[in-house]
Structure 1
Amino acid sequence: MSESVIERELAARLAAIDWLTRQRAAGVEYWTHADLSLFTFDGTRIPLMDRQRGIRKPAGFDAALAIRTVFRPEGAMRPYEDGMGADGLLRYRWRGSDPNHPENRALRKAMERQVPIIWFEGFAPALYTAIAPVYLLAEEPERQQFVVALGEDQLVLDVGGEVNSRRKRYVETMTKRRLHQPLFRAGVMHAYETRCAICAFRHGNLLDAAHITPDSTEDGVPATSNGLALCKIHHGAYDANIMGIRPDLVIEVRPDILEEIDGPMLKHGIQALHGEKLMMVPRSRRERPDEVRLEARYQQFRTAPV
């Protein structure tokens, strides 16, 4: 390919990543195949996802633009089982077993050029969140897979080599966070219809996916049932133990806060919610807040020092 064509392809993929980033900044957390077909570059429509294939190389491109991992219900296997290596980096499987399959060649070209690509992760049937930019750092032909760097800083990491346990733990933690955070947030926002569970505020760019069991603990799994969609005010109040949520989904406000006198935010946004039930609860029982987790977190609220 000529230098100008390569430069145009790079400009198009950077524009695609920017398009997703701007949507996310506006509160969009997930996309359907139809949503991802709307991207245009220089007046040309370039769908970012292939309906049938997991590896997307648009017409006229020399290297893969995006990869996809489909939604996996609990206990089920993905068609392509991706995982983490001993070095703490993620892997993405070839298409089939033929190294010369056109889609595998497209991935190899993206690796050789070190161009950024998009990883679409399915968190529900036909719904995807995006991790971008990611890079293909190396290929492991004997295992029929590519090594994935989740961000530019992972490009300098050693692949497959011996790493000490502290460094490995750090890389694994960083990798899991970058993989799980967008999946967790997308799942929570979808379950709560992009509304605060406490007050139903609906501006996605001012909502957080809050953990019931903190993600800093071993039990703080990135599951929707361990999450609550909360506006930033109520997320802060929940984390600060100003507000608690009982297992029956009733809100409690700390007694000393109920006695405070302040402005309308405290009166209407905090105190008035004491004894009220959550305004938003997921329709799916599987996605509703786990009662055991809520009880444990509620007891922390009850016993927290004032």
Structure 2
Amino acid sequence: MLEEQLSRVVREAAMAWLDRRPSERVDYAWLSGFEYDGHRIPLMDRQRGIRKPAGMNAALSMRTVYTAPDATPPYDDAEGADGLLRYKYRGDDPNHPENVALRRAGEDGLPLLWFVGIAPGLYEPIYPVWIVRDEPEHLQFVIALDEGERLMGASGTFTTEQRRYAERVNKTRLHQPMFRARVLTAYDSRCSVCSLRFPELLDAAHIIADGRPHGDPVVPNGLAMCKIHHAAFDQNILGIDPALTVRIRHDILDAIDGPMLRHGLQEMHNQPLLVVPRSRHSRPDEARLEERYAEFVGGVPEVEDPTRA
């Protein structure tokens, strides 16, 4: 019992330390600097996906490695029929020490840190999460992202409304943060339209809206944009054609207002995107751009050509 109490205290201290991190994303070097009571306790293992520090019986953290947009992930972590997330075993042996350590965290109700790869060597911390069920027949654990999902996971049964709840939680706590992190990293944390470099003022804009066909939360369906350009893009004030050229709606070009309109929108018209990902696999998908640009052209008032000079 004393060991479990100490384990909980260490976890609380680790989460408080992560709350104060200097940047949104973290790497192994920074995660290796955590200390508790004068002892250094790296929060991630360089070689293993599941971290159990010496002296602890249960795992402290788990990791999902980054997979490039054109690659197949090594582990098929996904949502189950109940809407809850799954985390695959290490290998195919349920009694592998790492699987045992993760199982013990679930049995003791201990919160875990989850580091999800968003670029080579960079991770988005998701915490706290819990192991709520073991599915050895599928070589995987069931993960909860909040207390509501913990209750669902413990029961092993679910209703349609509970599944919808789980999907909302997963979207808010995992999918949206991961989409934002991966898109901003691909664009070097700069607005694709104006090159603004303040992460607090940047969003990951969907080319095709979330929930629609082809609206997947993947980097080729994303554009890093400052909040003004994101809002303009969502409202079809600003469009981007398949050649990665910015177009501004003609009635906005004719409007008279202040410097934000003039410099922030009107002067962007007919300009190429200032920032695009270096990796061709992360660049905006041309088919999605074509689909979205057709909406922009179709949504322009009257019948004037939005690409006019």
Question: TM-score category by the smaller chain?
Answer: 0.7 to 0.9
Q: Is the 8 A contact 1:29 1:189 kept in 2?
A: no
Matches within 5 A, 1:8-87: 8-23=6-21, 28-73=23-68, 74-78=70-74, 80-87=75-82
In the alignment, what sits opposite 2:139?
Answer: 144
Displacement after TM superposition at 1:6 (Å):
3.6
1:105 equivalent to 2:100? Answer yes
**Other structure's SS at 1:136 match:** strand
Q: TM-score, normalised by structure 2?
A: 0.87
**Letter in structure 1 aligned against 2:15:** I
**Other structure's SS at 2:76 match:** coil
**Other structure's SS at 2:129 match:** strand
Most deviating of 161-170 and 186-195: 161-170
Provide Cα deviations, 1:151-174, integer angstroms capped at 9, x if missing partner.
222112156855455543553454
List alignment gaps of at least 5 residues for structure 1.
Answer: none
Q: Is the 8 A contact 1:134 1:152 kept in 2?
A: no
Displacement after TM superposition at 1:43 (Å):
4.1
In the alignment, what sits opposite 2:238?
Answer: 243
Most deviating of 141-150 and 231-240: 141-150
What is the rounded CA distance, in whole Å, between the counterparts of 2:234 and 2:268 in structure 1?
Answer: 16
What is the rounded CA distance, in whole Å, between the counterparts of 1:153 and 1:162 in structure 2?
Answer: 13
Q: Return the match for 2:123 from 118, 128, 145.
A: 128
What is the rounded CA distance, in whole Å, between the counterparts of 1:75 and 1:285 in structure 2?
Answer: 13
Displacement after TM superposition at 1:282 (Å):
0.8
In the alignment, what sits opposite 1:211?
Answer: 206
* Change over 3 Å in CA distance of 1:144–1:200 after alignment to 2: same
Displacement after TM superposition at 1:135 (Å):
0.7
* Change over 3 Å in CA distance of 1:203–1:143 after alignment to 2: same
* Change over 3 Å in CA distance of 1:293–1:96 after alignment to 2: closer
Displacement after TM superposition at 1:105 (Å):
2.8
**Other structure's SS at 1:233 match:** helix
Q: Is the 8 A contact 1:244 1:298 kept in 2?
A: yes
What is the rounded CA distance, in whole Å, between the counterparts of 1:18 and 1:233 in structure 2?
Answer: 33
**Other structure's SS at 1:157 match:** helix
What is the rounded CA distance, in whole Å, between the counterparts of 1:265 and 1:75 in structure 2?
Answer: 41
* Change over 3 Å in CA distance of 1:8–1:203 after alignment to 2: farther
Displacement after TM superposition at 1:93 (Å):
2.6
Displacement after TM superposition at 1:219 (Å):
1.4
Alpha-carbon RMSD? 2.4
What is the rounded CA distance, in whole Å, between the counterparts of 1:178 and 1:269 in structure 2?
Answer: 32
Displacement after TM superposition at 1:227 (Å):
0.5
What is the rounded CA distance, in whole Å, between the counterparts of 1:62 and 1:145 in structure 2?
Answer: 20
Q: TM-score, normalised by structure 1?
A: 0.88
What is the rounded CA distance, in whole Å, between the counterparts of 1:206 and 1:19 in structure 2?
Answer: 24
Provide Cα deviations, 1:22-78, integer angstroms capped at 9, x if missing partner.
43xx6x343222232123334433211101111111233332111112223445241
**Letter in structure 1 aligned against 2:64:** T
What is the rounded CA distance, in whole Å, between the counterparts of 1:75 and 1:266 in structure 2?
Answer: 41
**Letter in structure 2 aligned against 1:237:** A
Displacement after TM superposition at 1:192 (Å):
0.6
